[in-house]
Chain A
Amino acid sequence: MRQSRRLTLIAALIVVGFIGTIAWTYFSDRPQPLETPLYLARPVEETGAINRVTGIYLNYRLLDTLLEVLVFSVAILGIQHYLARSKAVRLPRLMESEVVRTAVSLLSPLAFLLSLFFVLFGHLSPGGGFASGVIAASGLLYVGIALGMKEAEQRLSPKRLGRVEKGVLLLLIAYVLFPVLLGRTPLTDLLPRGTPGHLLSGGSILIYNLLIASKVLIGAWIAIVSFAQHRGEL
């Protein structure tokens, strides 16, 4: 009891400190930007992406996004590593009710379609690789519920997919480092910008979105399956 009270106190201190820091920075004198930053001035012309947000995080701030992908990969690795230590449990299967199974089998194609839309049109309208990957992973989770997790796990083995996931990450890194071979700075976008508003525009943004979406999809699926294996039947 005393320990939990101490933990609560520490948590409260952290929250108060966090809020305090934010308030402090907010109310103190901040240096005002002298001119409009580059990425706000002509983002559409420079990136070729109508969706300026995508233009920023997959062009100007590509390095941040790459680190984010790396953080995600580390999280998935952590899940795999720590759950591999604990023994896998095999509990008798809990059958979902007919209502749930029918509903999820209707929902999963919609989820896949939506995911495809978000990844292909990420540079034209809201969406993008991360959201698309998560939606597709939700779709796979629905399939898992409908089929039973064990069956879904056998069809989409996380062991094999794990290699694909690492491969996608390596491909992404190789892709952004490729300009070095041509004597350019890394992360340079070599593809033409295209006409903003067309599907094939925005330079490499579509490729990044596809790679990130497949990475997030496989990673989230591995996480779901690992939890299912080690924490009971989903």
Chain B
Amino acid sequence: MTAQWILLGFLPIVAGIALLQSRRLSALIGMGLFSFLLAAAYLLMHAPDVAITEATIGAALVTAIYVLAIRRTGRLIVVADEVPGLMAREGDRITGLEYEILAGFAREIGLDLTVRFVPMRRIHWLLSHGEADLGAGGLISSAPPTGVRATPPHLETGLFSYSAAEVSDENEETAHPAHPDYEGYFVDLADHGRHQMLPSVVHSLDLARVLALSRRGIDLEGLTRRDGTFAYGFLVSENRQEIARDYANYLQRLRSSGRLDAMIRRYVV
């Protein structure tokens, strides 16, 4: 009898805990726990049939379906090219300024951050087809392509280009795009650099990649810094305006509280 009342007393508490979770998975586990407690209470009330049904439906089937349902919606999927300092693997972890910003943002909106490293040329396609929420990894996006939008910039940078004398002035923009323009992974870029093939695969590179390449001892002769101001931002699909809005608010707060500057000092010297 006492155990029954204790269980019943726990029910609203567990329900409240489940409601207050910002992570959906935690809320779901709370819901499953609620079902289990309820099933136990039914059992103590001599209603084993109801207890079995509650446990199988509430705790097993519904929880399983919900878990599977939030696998896509419950996470913030970021597609990125690896750039040391901004977002890069280090052992089995990912570190970098952009990763820290996005991890904080995901925590804030209650989603689990999933980073998938993809080749540079895939980022735009994945975003505009709804396969990912945010594009990252040293993107300079003053003029984003159709279907995606740029978020407010979080870090100023410089842009370097190979001075191509043979390029005539009218297609200056296509020859020297205002963003890093290679196609594959950054690691492939470093391989090309080791074989002195860099100018054949890329026209423009940003500061973080240039620094990372030169740290690997790759010859960067011919690259010149371009005039103008450039800044890193993220890309968001046009259909995900709520994420763009949330992120803009988050970045604003990060900036005004001084935490962004602290992060930048930690990763960029």
Binding site for A on B (CB under 8 A): 47-49, 51-53, 56-57, 60-61, 64-65, 68-69, 71-72, 131
Contacts and interface: CB of A to CB of B under 8 A. Distances in A.
Nearest to A52: B49
9 contacts: A91-B131, A94-B71, A126-B48, A134-B53, A134-B60, A134-B61, A135-B60, A138-B64, A227-B65
Interface of A: 51, 53-54, 91-92, 94, 118, 126-128, 130-131, 134-135, 137-138, 141, 145, 220, 224, 227-228, 231-232, 234
Nearest to A145: B68
A130 B53 contact: yes
Contacts of B72: 91, 94, 232
A141 B49 contact: no
A51 B64 contact: no
Residue of B56, B60, B61 with most partner-chain A CB within 10 A: B56
A220 B62 CA distance: 11
A223 to B, nearest CB: 8
Contact of B56 (A53, A91, A131): A131
Specify which of A53, A54, A126 lies most central, judged by the most chain B CB atoms within 10 Å of its CB: A126
A220 B61 contact: yes
A135 B53 CA distance: 9
B51 to A, nearest CB: 7
A118 B65 contact: no
Given A128-B52, A131-B57, A135-B56, 12 more contacts: A53-B47, A94-B72, A126-B48, A126-B51, A127-B49, A131-B53, A134-B57, A141-B64, A141-B65, A227-B65, A232-B71, A234-B71
